[in-house]
Chains A and B, each alone.
Chain A
């Protein structure tokens, strides 16, 4: 199920940190940690993943390694050397901390969802009270994993997995593209990882958020005023179960006894709040709770799509024409192919192809 870790000299993911004693003996080379990364990178690993070896640690290892011989050295000199190294280490740490912040930002899902058509499907019995007090929304979100199709490469998706595997097994294919005879090499597609998860949103039918409440009264009094105003059915309100009021943020959460009152009030953007003789309009908005479920990182594996290379020196520059020829060739069983779903090639410029579930 899971991918195997590339074999390396280190046994575990979390290597033991060096102890002070070790500094006096042979040093632990931090570069050893990077060996795993260098070995593991293949196919689509981005070029920025070169092993990071800070210059300071090399110097540090030299010093520590020589510590045995340093007994003869004046301590003062040693102290200042180590101090200098420590300063360099601190700088390096600062740099990586900044980089870490930047990197975590790149692994994000950021999506504006276009309007999706929804339709009535069925009716169910609510299992509990909580199911009834909210309108619940759920959906699945899954990364489309991008693949950079370089110039001279093509992607072909077959209907059947066996056909794709066979094409890869055959490896070399002589394909006629217009007047030329090219040799294409078939390989599996190496994909990056993506994330998938479920989003669950509960929109309360019994609670509403109230904001922009004027800060004119002491807490307990304001709470009473809120309850009074929101109970007035002539203004669209209803019997109030509970009021949570935050004087500092000038906001409140009102829970009604009956569901449906919230909907009515939310049809308006604001609501009248009576304080003594004055009427203030306070802003009302829905109370929602959103959370993620089943979040996981997955590693993309292409079973039906194959990478074809060898189109770099093609005379034809029309991508569609080339795609047609490739498709025709690989539809034929005698060429080792089968039913083809999609073909896409990059001739003049690279394209980004998206893989999805």
Chain B
């Protein structure tokens, strides 16, 4: 074999000076091969572990049902978005009025300022439409997380609160004598607990060990530790969406107390002569106080 066939980086070793250099060259090559093989195995492992269609390590089960949704042709990744919940801060001296009919709300909003008659004096307030931020696009990718593990296999009927369980796990897996290390984060998931460690090798080591007897309350439970895949947001777009049935009332003067103000507003906004209509709800936040208005999606 010609030295020209050889990898350029090694040319320097192949001067035929003596068996000493040859030995060294051979050893260097063999070491390189070992490194390359390690890297190859690591890649093969990663590819295999990658969330293709079935992950080869234990993950919690989730019961699913076919409800009739289908499509022609190729399987496309799809997801369901549910349980939308929005918390909107209401400042002191404001109110949220929700009408049955969105057209009534539209009518009310035609006047920016409303004058509310109360027993001889007038309250001047401003009305505004309400817009809430809604997620319109979400892109999330998953990848193996070298610093985190999933702990599973909890016995049914475990009488521990979330906090107690997380504490016990953090204590156990925080000890090097158990094979663990410094716990950086912890999260309760459906069917398991995710633990994140500050050092990479701790997670790997725990996965290798696989099973642990962990004291959870009165008895010891056999728990399993497996690799954890974490998600990363690639894109998230939020756009304002109007709430057609609700109207914000602002700058309410500090003249009446809570319950009275609520009645007064309800009466005013129900009057058809004022462009009002059937009021579903009135939420009042008196001056000096704060409130959080909660909105949820109708189906979830």
Contact = CB atoms under 8 A, between A and B. Distances in A.
Contact of B62 (A4, A33, A44, A196): A196
Contacts of B74: 352
B1 to A, nearest CB: 4
A100 B283 CA distance: 54
Contacts of A30: 37, 40-41, 44
Interface stretch (A222-230, A297-305, A328-336): A297-305
Given A20-B30, A296-B194, A357 B62 contact: yes
Secondary structure type dominating chain B contacts = strand
Contacts of B58: 2-5
Contacts of B143: 104
B56 A344 contact: no
A69 interface: no
B47 A52 contact: yes
Interface residues of B, number: 131
A107 to B, nearest CB: 4
Most buried by A among B88, B190, B300: B88
B36 A143 contact: no
Contacts of B296: 118-119, 121
A137 B22 contact: no
Contacts of B62: 194, 196, 298-301, 357
Contact of A352 (B55, B76, B80, B224): B76
Contacts of B190: 196, 294, 296, 298
A54 B293 CA distance: 60
Contact of A147 (B66, B81, B98): B66
Nearest to A92: B40
B135 interface: yes
Interface stretch (B3-11, B116-124, B169-177): B3-11
A113 B137 contact: yes
B273 interface: no
B161 interface: no
Nearest to B280: A120
Given A36-B56, A89-B40, A119 B295 contact: yes
A224 B250 CA distance: 32
A126 B291 contact: yes
B140 interface: yes
Contact of B66 (A85, A131, A290, A355): A355
Interface string A10-34: 0011110111100100000010011
11 contacts: A18-B34, A83-B29, A118-B241, A125-B291, A135-B89, A140-B81, A144-B79, A286-B133, A355-B64, A355-B65, A357-B80
Interface of B: 1, 5-7, 10, 14, 16, 19, 22-23, 25-26, 29-34, 36-41, 43-48, 50-91, 96, 98, 132-143, 150, 152-154, 187-192, 194, 204, 207-208, 210, 224, 226-227, 229-234, 236, 238, 241, 243, 245-246, 280-281, 283, 285, 290-300
